[in-house]
Amino acid sequence: MPLAIVIAGANTHDVKLLASTLDAVVIERPSAEEGPQHLCADAGYEGKNALQSITARHYTPHVRSRGEEKNERQAGKKPRRWVVEVTASWLNRFRKLLVRFEKKADNYLALLHFACALIVWRKIIPVHV
């Protein structure tokens, strides 16, 4: 599940929302004495500004280039999906969120928070036992 939600237009690139997403994290981060916090990202975050945003917020960046992940793939095993892709897939199951009809961004953001809470609830307490 995401630790932060930031909304923007559909034509906004992810790297432009990196700083605001890292600033919107809702859980308390561990202190520096407990060790560094790591942030894994794909090739879209290789730019100088993205790396500066990550290090300015006291994360250790781990950015993979495009061919690096393909070389590490083991034979006979499926590639793992990124957490963001899985979360987007879960959120797309809510028809109200799939196409945005809300005019106010705050209303849409509230629906996103509600959907995330519902997903967490369903993962913690399974309905079909």
pLDDT digits (tens, 9 = 90+) for 62-121: 887 766 666 666 666 666 666 677 888 888 899 888 888 899 999 999 999 999 899 889
Determine the Cα–Cα distance for residues 16 and 55; give it in Å rounded to an integer.
16
Determine the Cα–Cα distance for residues 118 and 24; give it in Å rounded to an integer.
20
pLDDT (tens digit per residue) in 25-73:
888 877 777 878 888 888 888 888 888 988 888 888 888 776 666 666 6
Backbone angles phi, psi at 80, to 5 degrees: -80, 145
Determine the Cα–Cα distance for residues 108 and 21; give it in Å rounded to an integer.
16
